[in-house]
Structure 1
Amino acid sequence: MSVDVKRGETLPIHINMTFPALPCQVLSVDAIDMSGKHEVDLDTNIWKLQCEPMYAFSWKEWKSRLHDVDSSEKKHEHKFDADAEEMIKTVKHAMENGEGCRVYGVLDVQRVAGNFHISVHGLNIFVAQQIFGGASNVNIVPTEYRYLSKDVLPTNQFSVTEYFVPLRETDRSWPAVYFLYDLSPITVTIKEERRSFLHFITRLCAVLGGTFALTELNNVLRSNSFKTSP
């Protein structure tokens, strides 16, 4: 083990997630880290692919929720601009058709603690809260594999803890799937080594010596057994 002294390098994070009942128009990939870097709706090396309907989506349930939302909006006099209204119409149509979305690509993040999350945008918050809300804590340990050929493979080991936080009707936070990551300051080095011929001879002598000792002990016991026989 050694202290991780890497500076200025990035950590590539490969993602490949499918949301079978959410259209691509409402999904956003955001990232933030301890250095203060904050990126919203990433599209560099991140792609969204519309998926065919995977199952019959219950639009009646969503329509009922939207009706309740409309009533709540009228009560609180919430209004949307033309762009938001158009987005809501598009999303309604996509949900009615049961469209899903596959989000995949590579995030290059700095080697400091942070998180990236996939959240919904363009939806009314009351409806969005019904979709999802969960998080995964990822502990990352930098690791190096050093081979006999002197090649070095830098990689990472990690452990994951998942938990789900249900949203209440009174919450005003946007639901999302969060991936919170933290890097260990210690690097684990795993070396491939070839044992020397001298080590082989030593092990062989130990085995032969043990075999000889057991054989002699067996002979002594048998000899004593014959001597004590009547």
Structure 2
Amino acid sequence: METLVQSIPTESQRLALEDKSNSGIRRPAPSAGGCRIEGYVRVKKVPGNLIISARSGSHSFDVSQMNMSHVISHLSFGRTISPRVMSDVKRLIPYLGRSHDRLNGRSFINHRDLGANVTIEHYLQIVKTEVVTRRSSREHTLIEEYEYTAHSSLAQSLHIPVAKFHFELSPMQVLITENPKSFSHFITNVCAIIGGIFTVAGILDSIFHNTIRVMKKVELGKNL
């Protein structure tokens, strides 16, 4: 995999970007090379595709030699959530945040078992999750994130192979609302617990005394 992410030699970059004397001649791309992609894309909340492919006006590509293997370091949707906020939310909802970066750290390697011109496709189903808390009778959005499920596959391509991310937002939304309890509700629960303890203690005391009374009667009957 190291050969896929090696930087292109400086000489090749200089020839491709600076030398414009023969603009009509296309030069072959370096045999060993790769790239690192980092950034963000603003899209509307409709189904779409994010396609990563090779394009150059100064090079020609041998598609039979192209390998679209890749490693995803981080892929998420929505605003970046700070670790402190996520930690605070997980105290209330432990299962939240498990799927907002499901593809992080995963490798997708094409070992050329299917031959050349292999496209790697990812299908992402995105669901919006929002946590709302009420403070002083007013609603406050604590966190808003997008979690997704992912399914990946390999497919033969008739053209230049690509790494394709097909994303689709679910029309449904997960809304989690935190409703704080009043002090009177706390007092009521405490009284209910105390009452339950006294009730159970009374039942056990009655059973204990009745058992002792029966045992005494049995002993008196034996003595007679």
Q: TM-score normalized by structure 1?
A: 0.55
Alignment match, 2:63? 125
Q: Report if the CA contact (8 A) 1:133-1:176 is conserved.
A: yes
Larger relative CO (CA 8 A, sep 6+): 1 or 2?
1
What SS does the aligned partner of 2:173 have? strand
Q: Distance in 2 between matches of 1:117 and 1:20?
A: 22
Q: 1:165 aligns with which of 140, 146, 154?
A: 154
Question: Which structure would you say has the larger Rg?
Answer: 2
Bigger proportion of residues as strand: 1
Alignment-mate amino acid for residue 186 of structure 1: M
Q: Distance in 1 between matches of 2:2 and 2:131?
A: 36
Alignment match, 2:181? 195
Q: 2:4 aligns with which of 3, 21, 25?
A: 21
Cα 1:84–1:115, aligned 2, differ >3 Å: closer, same or farther? farther
Alignment match, 1:43? none
Q: Distance in 2 between matches of 1:51 and 1:125?
A: 18
1:134, distance to aligned residue in structure 2 (A): 1.6
Matches within 5 A, 1:1-230: 21=4, 50=7, 85-86=26-27, 88=28, 90-92=29-31, 95=32, 99-121=33-55, 122-128=60-66, 130=116, 133-148=119-134, 150-153=139-142, 155-167=144-156, 171-229=157-215, 230=219
Question: Could you report, residue by residue, the CA deviation over 1:4-38 in whole angstroms, capped at 9, with x for unpaired residues?
Answer: xxxxxxxxxxxxxx985157xxxxxxxxxxxxxxx
Q: Distance in 2 between matches of 1:115 and 1:22?
A: 24
Cα 1:173–1:138, aligned 2, differ >3 Å: closer, same or farther? same
Alignment-mate amino acid for residue 196 of structure 1: S
Alignment-mate amino acid for residue 108 of structure 1: R
After superposition, the CA RMSD in angstroms is: 3.0
1:128, distance to aligned residue in structure 2 (A): 2.5
Q: Report if the CA contact (8 A) 1:146-1:192 is conserved.
A: yes
> Unmatched 5+ residue regions in structure 1?
1-17, 24-49, 53-80
Q: Distance in 2 between matches of 1:205 and 1:220?
A: 22
Cα 1:102–1:145, aligned 2, differ >3 Å: closer, same or farther? same
1:84, distance to aligned residue in structure 2 (A): 6.2
Q: Report if the CA contact (8 A) 1:141-1:187 is conserved.
A: yes
What SS does the aligned partner of 1:212 have? helix
Matched pairs, number: 149
Q: Report if the CA contact (8 A) 2:63-2:117 is conserved.
A: no
Q: Distance in 2 between matches of 1:82 and 1:127?
A: 24
